[in-house]
Structure 1
Amino acid sequence: MPNLLHLDASARRASFSRRLGDRFATAWRATHPGGYVHRDLHAEPVPFIDEAWTEICDELLRRGITDPARYAEVVRTPDQAAAWATLAPLLDELLAADVVLIATPMYNYSVPAALKAWLDQVTFPRMKLAPRRFVVVSARGGTYAPGMPRAPFDHQERYLRDFLSGHFGIDEPELVAAELTNALVDPHLADQLDAHEASVAAAFAQVERLATGERAA
């Protein structure tokens, strides 16, 4: 049975990225009677990696170990054991998943520190996770669509696409974004409310399609 790992990274309890993630998870679980793990990276922050983590990483490189089942072989010192105790449950959840759902807002043109901390903990040299499926649902205060003035400042989608491809070997991560969420609170974007609502509606529709197995257009 397929397993879904659902990650939330927003600091808001009622955020658009959480709503998109919940919509995907609900629809996916209705059609896939498999396992489901939800991890709220904001409510339960993942610690930043420390020097002991880097020592584990270095030893994996020295010994040419690329199989995650063998990572624990290089753990030697008490500090390394403590680092391993932190990362092992996160890594186990990731490796057990067939589908990884990342629900994240854009913060300051990129991803929240909570998500970056998780990515750092579970990423090791030459680690390939294909053919796992990665779906990213996100929300952004402005619009960063191709051709828009702020498109060059989008270091959220570009970072995640490059990261998932470059580190995990995921050639086609599926990304969905709801834009212009700040139109609800920023008077300077009040004339963009219709565009925001259209973007949200399109994002929810795409999430529903992805949850049933359709690939992003």
Structure 2
Amino acid sequence: MPGLLHLDASARSTSFSRRLGARFADGWRAAHPGAPYVHRDLAADPVPFIDEAWTELCDELMRRRITDPHRYHEVVETPAQKAAWAVLAPLLDELLAADVVLVATPMYNFSVPAALKAWIDQVTFPRMSLAGTRFVVVCARGGTYLPGTPRAAVEHATSYLRDFFDGHFAVTDVDVVAAELVNSLVDPVLADRRSEHEASVASAEAEVDRLVAAFAAAAA
């Protein structure tokens, strides 16, 4: 039975990225009753940054040419490495067990939050393939960064995640859903674009529902 790993990265306890993520997770779980589901809130329970012991593990994996994540533990030797492994092992287990990984994230300062990047750094090792795992990214952005808009070139949140999953995990099957112009709710300069924001949220919710239905159909 397929399993879902759900990551939240927003610093806000109530946010549009969390709202879209919850919508997907709720729909997915309803369509897959009893299936494994893990929710990790990277903002409420931050993942530590990698340390020197982690880099030692990484170096040793390259030296021994170990690419199977289920064998990573073989290089753990020193007390510091054991401590690093104790942090990353449960994160890695959750990732490897998931058939679908849902990443719910805002875009902060043109990129992903540090909390999400810390998780990525912990679970990523050289030549590590997750081919066959599906990734869904739901994102909220303060302005608009759609293709063809003036600031499209500086959208380094969903574009980074797409490039990373493809370039490092060998995952090309990534679905991305974004809600735009969230700051129109608080920034007077963007107040006249609130209707665009509302339309963007409605479109994002419809796309989330479409994805949920597609996953349900594929599993039937």
Of all paired residues, the percent bearing the same amino acid is 72
**Structure 2 unmatched ranges of 5 or more:** 216-220
Q: Which residue of 2 aligns with 1:100?
A: 101
Cα displacement (A) at 1:172: 2.5
Q: TM-score, normalised by structure 1?
A: 0.98
How many positions carry a matched residue from both structures? 215
Q: Which residue of 2 aligns with 1:79?
A: 80
Q: CA RMSD in A?
A: 1.0
Q: Is 2:8 aligned against 1:8?
A: yes
Q: What TM-score do the two structures reach when normalised by structure 2?
A: 0.96
Question: Match of 2:214, SS?
Answer: coil
Structure 2 counterpart of 1:51, one-letter code: E
Q: Which residue is 1:31 aligned to? A: 31
Residue by residue, what CA displacement relative to the aligned partner does 1:96-131 show, whole Å, maximum 9, x if unpaired? 000000000000000000000000000011011010
Q: CA-to-partner distance for each residue in 1:135-183, whole Å, 9 max, x for gaps?
A: 0000000000011111111011111110000011111211000000000
The correspondence of residues 119-130 of structure 1 with structure 2, limited to 5 A, is 119-130=120-131
Runs of 4 or more off by more than 3 Å in structure 1? none
Q: In structure 2, what is the Cα distance between the partners aligned to 1:200 and 1:130?
A: 30
**Cα distance, 1:212 vs. partner?**
2.1
CA distance in 1, matches of 2:122, 2:13: 24
Offset at residue 211 of structure 1 (A): 1.5
Query: In structure 2, what is the Cα distance between the partners aligned to 1:46 and 1:18?
Result: 18
Q: CA deviation at 1:64?
A: 0.4
Mapped to 1, the partners of 2:45 and 2:199 lie a distance apart of 33
Structure 1 CA distance for aligned equivalents of residues 28 and 99 of structure 2: 12
- Cα offsets for 1:83-108 (capped at 9, x unmatched): 00000000000000000000000000
Deviation at 1:213, TM superposition (A): 2.2
SS at match of 1:213: helix
* Partner SS state of residue 161, structure 1: helix
Matched with 1:177 is 178
Q: What is the distance in 1 between the residues matched to 2:173 and 2:109? A: 25
**Counterpart of 2:41?**
40
* 1:6 counterpart letter in structure 2: H
Q: Deviations over 1:32-82 (max 9, x none)?
A: 121100000000000000000000000000000001111000001000000
